[in-house]
Amino acid sequence: MNEKKNGSITISNYSAFKSLCIFLLLCLSLSGCTLARPELQQTEEEELCGILVVVGEQEAEREQEKALEGKSFSGIRELEKALADSVVAEGTYQADRTFTFAGVEGHMLGIVEEETEGAPTTHFVNDGFFTKVKANTTVTDTGKADTISGTILAAESLEEPVCMYPVYHRGDGSYYTVLDSCGFLMGGVRGEGEIYSQSLQWEVTEEVNGKEEKNSREIKVSLEMAVPVEKVRVYMYNEQNMLLGTQEITKAADKVMLQRETAYIIVEEEKTDGQIRRSLYDWNEAVTDQELVHEINYLGTGGLIEPKELLFTKSGA
């Protein structure tokens, strides 16, 4: 794993060494770990702006591992320092108001402040993988309070650890995330509905139109184990409760055209474990702007579940 030659220490198999560290970390309960750690903010101009959820080891971490392979250290203190260095991944804020990070595949929930026509504007960031999302801005006597919360779902079959990392916004407008051990949250957990969460809170003092404002922000991400949906069927009924027709829904479908006489809809979801879930909708009560939306939890990438909206409309509506 590591060797000591002529008073120096050489890492010969960093991956195996790190795997042991990860195993020990997962034996601890880290559900209460706090992400808002002031020591990670190098300057006063930087602020926390999001939580990034990833599954398993990332390319950025593997690149760091490669850099340490075969490297010699003068002593244990230098080795400890090298092993303690966190991986920093630069972020890019996309035009669709989502984020990408170099060498990292993940999903971010956050709050971003931008200048729009010379005035600061708050945007809530959600790339679509979060469900049960609630976002709110409250004006206070001293400024405003922005809050956002959301849940990310993981399949019970998930084997890789789920990690939650803080995202920072620098004074120059750039973004980055820090992949550190605080992020290890869950690995090999079973049981539908078990929830873990991480909260990030901070306060910023800004000068707006010559007046000092204290604005607070809070971000909360929860992890919930769930069973993904495998098959979906839609049953359409008229006012006399007569069945008008049924339709099999594929994962690729995002819109369903109902028959004009449809008064009631039953959405039947069959999960991968055989469970059946049925949702009943009264078109006249549930419809908004001649549309109705139902959310389905399909299995996505990396063992996470991807919520997908299914839009119902009526022919001739």
Whether residue 126 is found in the same domain as residue 275: no
Q: What's the pLDDT at 75?
A: 63
- What is the three-class DSSP state of 68? helix
Burial of 39 per CB tally in 10 Å (0-12, 13-18, 19+): exposed
- What is the domain count for the chain? 2
Cα–Cα dist 97/111, whole Å: 11
Domain boundary among 226, 258, 274: 226
Per-position DSSP letters for 248-261, written without gaps between them: EE-TT--EEEE-TT
- pLDDT digits 0-9 by tens, 273-291: 899 999 999 998 877 767 8
Beta carbons of 244 and 238 less than 8 angstroms apart: yes
Cα–Cα dist 162/182, whole Å: 11
CA distances from 132 to 137, 205, 281 (A): 17, 30, 19
Q: What is the mean pLDDT of residues 186-195?
A: 62
Per-residue pLDDT band at 242 (split at 50, 70, 90): very high
Domain boundary among 205, 226, 247: 226
Name the range with the highest mean pLDDT among 57-71, 129-143, 154-168. 129-143
Q: In sequence order, what are the beta bridge partners of 205? A: 214
**Residue 3 placed within a domain:** no
Cα–Cα dist 167/279, whole Å: 37
Whether residue 146 is found in the same domain as residue 193: yes
**Residue 6 placed within a domain:** no
Q: What's the mean per-residue pLDDT of the chain? A: 79
Beta carbons of 202 and 216 less than 8 angstroms apart: yes
Cα–Cα dist 300/153, whole Å: 10
Entry pTM: 0.76
Q: Which domain holds residue 21?
A: 11-226
**Residue 182 placed within a domain:** yes
Domain boundary among 226, 242, 274: 226
